[in-house]
Amino acid sequence: MEMAARRLKDNALTIYSILSLVVIAIPLLHIIATTLINGAQSLTPEFFTSLPKPPGEEGGGVANAIQGTAILVALTMLISVPAALLTAIYLSEFPESRLRDLIRLLNDTFMGTPSIVAGVFAYTLLVTKFGFSALAGAFALSVLAVPMMVKTMEEALKLVPTDIREAGLSLGIRHWRVVTSIVLRTAMPAIASGVLLTVARISGETAPLLFTAFGNPNFATGILEPVSALPLMIYVYAISPYPDWHRKAWGASLVLMIAVLTINLITKYKLRRR
Amino acid sequence: MAGHATDKIVVRNLNAWYGDFQALKNINLSIKKNTITAILGPSGCGKSTFIRCLNRLHELRSDAKIEGEILLDGKSVFNMDPVEVRRKIGMVFQRPNPFPTMSIYDNVAIGLKLNGVRDKKALDRVVEDSLKKAALWDEVKDKLNMPGTSLSGGQQQRLCIARAIATNPEVILFDEPTSALDPISAVKIEDLLVDLKGNYTVVIVTHNIQQAGRVSDYVAFFWMGELVEFGKTAEVFENPKEELTEAYLTGRIG
């Protein structure tokens, strides 16, 4: 009797878990399917290579937004990877430092900051003085990217066993050398996957770009000019009254989704520890 | 001094703490050149802490504190750059810990490479020489570019010994080097220890009485942070002066 009751409970829990999974999976699959169905038709060669046509006119592409996103992501990484890496090294490799708790608190606070605040911050700091630009956009995105990366990089460094550090030190190697040549090297796959996942996260951010990168119907010729970006373009096109723009927004969503999926797959299969 | 083994390391009134916990209490002993000294005792008696004081690894913990004197060839290690101390006093750890992203070759060469040796031929020579001294050369000479972690546990430990030898230390500390290994690998390491004492002063931490008896010339018996007895291994084992030592050697405590 006791056994039967337990088995019943066990089965009930299993069924409950499966149901929960289905409830979560259905909307996800629905989003992917809808994006595929609505977006696939837009993905012509012209879509990737041409600039947008004036409002109401059919055709054209989103090449400017693709260029913009590439510029923004590259600039953001250029700014935030070194900053985050040095911070993470400081947090993980200098345990005697007093500032550690304060930096962690600030970092966690930043991580919970709404992304629009990052945009406003960049706006007041840079845009009011120098105007809309890719650089201001990248700065806003960096405000989001740095805390995420500090967290993952610190975790990655902490996964390196103490033994490995001590082995390095016991060979008479200087502390900073042990960190750069042994600890970082050991943690590199995990650090790289943290960077890639951050790229995936920020490449879809819209709010911080609204009043920093601003958008640009043409190609940008420098980082001090406004640039378009895929999420910005999706935002503008999706709320427009033109059916052709709606289709393009779906197409751009699909492109972003495929890019993020690709990054996740690379992280999962190429960078995991053997 | 002629005819006598000279003191390589002299420890005077050494006390060490982790926070409020005193791990070592007033330790005094001398380690003779080109001998094997076993630091014997049960878990938690301070023996690992003791050797970690010798190469100044103990003080890396933020709550660590240390008092007393450690002389290497008559010079206080606390007046030397820790990096210099560790070049003279190498260490092999309890668990084999080759650098996971490096090849067998690089694991051995890294100490020299990071200290600025660029000459490929010199590196080749040191790598071969160190692996031979660690009795590993014949097993790995055809796969030097394989990851160090691809070796078996016993081979990895000998790789770590080769890595320690490569930087040409004068003293090598072994922290329970066989406790994570199978018996056959352990015997190989023990044989190797005996071979090494011709060129190096060896200090080995162990809780294994038989191992201390097999390999060491001198033995120091630690109990709860105190040095209970220190002397020639044969004498201490046959004729322990302290009751506590005898109780440990006969298995009544431990």
How far apart are the C-alpha atoms of B142 and B93, rounded to whole Å? 26
Asked if A239 reaches chain B (Cβ–Cβ under 8 Å), the answer is no
Whether residues B95 and A163 touch (CB distance < 8 A) is answered with: yes
Contact flag A164-B97 (C-beta cutoff 8 Å) = yes
- Other C-beta atoms lying within 10 Å of the C-beta of residue B14: 22
Of A233, A245, A175, the residue nearest A206 (C-alpha): A233
Q: A95, B163: Cβ pair inside 8 Å?
A: no
CB B108 within 8 A of CB B130: yes
Residue A87: other Cβ atoms inside 10 A: 20
Residue B132, domain CATH: 3.40.50.300
For chain A, give the number of residues.
274
> At CA B55, angle to CA B180 and CA B206, rounded to 5?
30
Residue closest to B149 by CA, chosen among A179, A169, A274: A274
B118-136 burial, b if ≥16 CB within 10 A, otherwise e? eeeeebeebbbbbbebbbb
- The CA-CA-CA angle for residues A259, A265, A270, to 5°, reads 125
Tell me, yes or no, whether B2 lies in a domain: no
In the sheet that holds B171-175, the strands lie side by side as: B89-92, B171-175, B201-206, B36-40, B218-223, B226-232
How close B51 gets to chain A, by Cα (Å)? 12
**pLDDT value, residue B4:** 52
Number of neighbouring beta carbons within 10 Å of residue A61: 22
Query: Residue B95's pLDDT is what?
Result: 94
Supply the pLDDT for residue B237.
96
Tally of helices (H runs) and strands (E runs) in chain B: 10, 10
Q: Which residues of A touch B114 (CB under 8 A)?
A: 171, 173, 177, 181
In a domain, B139, yes or no: yes
Q: What is the pLDDT of residue A1?
A: 67
Number of structural domains chain B divides into: 1
Three-state DSSP state, B65: strand
Domain boundary assignment for chain A: 2-40, 48-270
**Cβ-based contacts of A181 with chain B (< 8 Å):** 110, 114
Q: How far is the alpha carbon of A104 from chain B, nearest alpha carbon, in Å?
A: 18
Using a CB-CB distance cutoff of 8 angstroms, which residues of chain B are in contact with residue A171? 86-87, 90, 110-111, 114, 163-164, 167
Neighbours of B65 (CB within 10 A): 15
Q: What is the pLDDT of residue A174?
A: 93
List chain A residues with CB under 8 Å of B57: 166, 169-170
Complex ipTM, two decimals?
0.92
Q: How far apart are the first and last CA of chain B?
A: 38
Q: Which residues of B touch A167 (CB under 8 A)?
A: 91, 93, 97, 99, 160, 163
For B140, the domain range is 7-249
Residue of A nearest to B167 (CA): A171
Q: What does the pLDDT read at residue B2?
A: 40
Chain A residues in contact with B84 by the CB 8 A cut-off are: 172
Q: Is A159 on the interface with B (CB under 8 A)?
A: no
Instruction: Return the residue of A nearest to B164 by Cα.
Output: A171
Q: Which residues of A touch B107 (CB under 8 A)?
A: none
Query: Which chain B residue is nearest to residue A186, measuring alpha carbons?
Result: B101
Domain at A48-270: CATH architecture: Orthogonal Bundle (1.10)
CA-nearest residue of chain A to B83? A172
| pTM over 0.90, yes/no | no
Task: Give, in degrees to the nearest 5, the angle at Cα B124 between B90 and B107.
Answer: 45
Q: Which residue ranges of chain B lie beneath pLDDT 70? A: 1-5
Position B24 in a domain? yes
Q: In chain A, pLDDT over 90 holds for what percent of residues?
A: 88
Partner B contacted by A166 (CB < 8 A)? yes
Closest residue in chain B to residue A93, using alpha carbons only: B60
Question: Which of B152, B142, B147, B156 has its CA nearest to residue B103?
Answer: B147
What is the structure's pLDDT at B36? 97
Question: From the DSSP assignment, how many helices (H) and strands (E) are in chain A?
Answer: 13, 0
Find, among A224, A213, A230, the residue nearest to A61 by Cα: A230
A177 has a chain B CB within 8 A of its CB: yes
Note the pLDDT of residue A97. Answer: 79
A155-159 contacts at long range (C-beta below 8 A, 24 or more positions apart) = A155/A190, A155/A194, A156/A88, A156/A187, A156/A190, A156/A191, A156/A194, A157/A88, A157/A89, A157/A92, A157/A93, A157/A183, A157/A184, A157/A187, A157/A191, A158/A92, A159/A187, A159/A190
pLDDT tens for each residue of A137-178? 999 999 999 999 999 999 999 999 999 999 999 999 999 999
Scanning A174-242, the segments in alpha helix (DSSP H) are 175-177, 184-202, 207-210, 230-238
pLDDT at position A272: 62
CB contact under 8 A, A167 and B163: yes
Q: How many CA atoms lie within 13 A of B72 on its CB side?
A: 21
Is pLDDT above 80 for A274? Answer: no
Give the E-state strand segments of chain A in sequence order: none
pLDDT tens readout for residues A48-89? 999 998 887 888 899 999 999 999 999 999 999 999 999 999
- Does B226 map to a domain? yes
Residues of B with CB under 8 A from a CB of A: 55, 57, 60, 62, 83-88, 90-91, 93, 95, 97, 99-102, 110-111, 114-115, 160, 163-164, 167
d(CA A208, CA A198): 15
State the sign of the Cα–Cα–Cα–Cα dihedral B121, B127, B130, B133: negative
Read off the pLDDT of residues A95-116 as tens digits, 9 standing for 90 and up.
Answer: 777 899 999 999 999 999 999 9
A167, A173, A188 ranked by CB distance to B115: nearest: A173
How many CB atoms neighbour CB A79 within 10 A? 18
Instruction: Find the helix or strand (DSSP H, E) in which B228 lies.
Output: strand B226-232
Distance from CA of B245 to the nearest CA of A (A): 31
Spatial separation of the C-alpha atoms in residues B143 and A37, rounded to whole Å: 53
Tell me which residue in A96, A172, A185 faces B83 most closely, judged by beta carbons: A172
Contacts of A99 in chain B (CB under 8 A): none
Contact assignment for A171 to B164 by CB distance below 8 Å: yes
- 3-class state of residue B30 by DSSP: strand
According to DSSP, residue B5 is labeled P
